[in-house]
């Protein structure tokens, strides 16, 4: 039987599982570093004359006994029609038998595992005395990030900016009311960048919103929001070149991340500058932050292994709680 998990069911399962998702994502990256998981770079498919791209984000994990693929549709034209620009579905099969284990809506799963990956990287790379969290972007991913980053961190306040002022004010009010952390909207990305100890960029920007000249030694930056396209980025070349870069997966970054591919094409960066993977840092094979003065950058493209780790957790939680719909696809 195949377990089907809808967005609302996934949201309910994840409501009290922030720490569990972070632990699952951290373990997945360590498994990748230890060659217990497989993560190819995702192929991108574009139809002639269309602006959309379809990505098949595949992974397989020995410890989780799953192989999975998330089909991500990135469709910029949806914005004008009032539809989500990105939609995704995750298919998971048993690694031993090949049986279809589960089919999951990708929206809430992706948002939560993305924030969890940022939390994992931030705990590994940011200074322990960081007190100000900065957000460039005010959508649902921004709230998910605050929720994921708060546990075990001594943040004193949040500063943020969004393209829509009313939306930014709503987010600040929600952070304060629901998470108990004072949050303030600032005038522009520069003000947020200069005020933050830990900065998260969470926009689907094509052009840089953060300049390297605004960054200070000791900061940690999570570049998260840009779509997996080689011509989109949130940080300018100077910001990337000044940083000690950690990627979620080198092969994926080399194929899909404008954050590193644009500086690489300009000759400002070499491939060796972004070979350092998060799993290698977590496993101790590579150094992350080496001093309090380091400017560190987590270049988060998002990978199928994170989806698999979240799917494994959701499948187990759903079975424990008797949630979801079971369907015999072979019937």
The residues annotated with a catalytic role in the active site are 70
CB atoms within 10 A of CB 63: 15
Burial 262-295 (b: 16+ CB within 10 A, else e): bbbeeeebeeebbebbbbbbbeeeeebbeeeebb
Closest CA to 161 of 209, 122, 230: 209
Burial 317-327 (b: 16+ CB within 10 A, else e): bbeeeebbeee
Q: How far is CA 4 from CA 15, 16, 19, 106, 328, in A?
A: 18, 20, 24, 12, 10
* CA pair distance 111, 194, nearest whole angstrom: 26
Q: What does the radius of gyration of the chain's CA atoms come to, in whole angstroms?
A: 19
* CA pair distance 313, 5, nearest whole angstrom: 12
Residue that is written with structure tokens 């099969």 in the block: 93
Q: How far is CA 139 from the centre of its chain?
A: 14
Bridge partners for 89 per DSSP: 71, 105
Q: How far is CA 67 from CA 4, 25, 150, 153, 155, in A?
A: 16, 15, 31, 34, 37
Q: How far is CA 165 from CA 85, 109, 141, 162, 324, in A?
A: 21, 27, 16, 6, 38
Q: How far is CA 47 from CA 71, 74, 138, 269, in A?
A: 15, 12, 31, 31
């Amino acid at each position: 039987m195949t377990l089907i998990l809808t967005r609302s069911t996934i949201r309910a399962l994840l409501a009290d599982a922030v720490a569990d998702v972070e632990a699952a994502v951290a373990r997945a990256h360590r498994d990748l570093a230890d060659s217990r998981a497989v993560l190819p770079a995702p192929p991108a498919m574009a139809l002639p004359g269309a602006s959309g791209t379809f990505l098949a984000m595949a992974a397989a994990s020995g410890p989780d006994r799953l192989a999975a693929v998330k089909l991500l549709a990135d469709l910029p034209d949806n914005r004008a029609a009032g539809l989500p620009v990105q939609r995704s579905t995750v298919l998971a099969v048993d690694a031993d038998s090949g049986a279809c284990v589960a089919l999951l809506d990708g929206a809430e799963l992706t948002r939560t595992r993305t924030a969890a990956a940022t939390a994992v990287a931030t705990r590994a790379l940011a200074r322990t005395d960081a007190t100000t969290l900065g957000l460039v972007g005010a959508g649902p991913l921004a709230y998910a990030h605050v929720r994921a980053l708060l546990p075990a961190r001594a943040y004193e306040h949040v500063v943020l900016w969004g393209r829509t002022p009313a939306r930014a004010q709503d987010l600040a009010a929600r952070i304060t009311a629901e998470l108990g952390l004072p949050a303030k909207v600032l005038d522009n990305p520069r003000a947020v960048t200069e005020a933050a100890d830990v900065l998260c960029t969470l926009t689907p920007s094509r052009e840089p919103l953060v300049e390297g000249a605004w960054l200070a030694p000791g900061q940690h930056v999570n570049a998260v929001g840009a779509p997996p396209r080689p011509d989109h980025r949130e940080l300018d070349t100077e910001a990337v070149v000044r940083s000690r870069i950690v990627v979620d997966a080198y092969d994926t970054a080399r194929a899909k991340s404008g954050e590193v591919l644009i500086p690489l094409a300009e000759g400002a960066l070499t491939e060796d500058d972004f070979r350092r993977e998060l799993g290698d840092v977590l496993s101790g094979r590579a150094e992350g932050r080496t001093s309090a003065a380091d400017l560190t950058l987590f270049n988060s493209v998002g990978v199928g292994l994170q989806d698999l780790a979240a799917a494994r957790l959701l499948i187990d939680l759903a079975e424990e709680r008797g949630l979801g719909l079971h369907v015999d696809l072979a019937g």
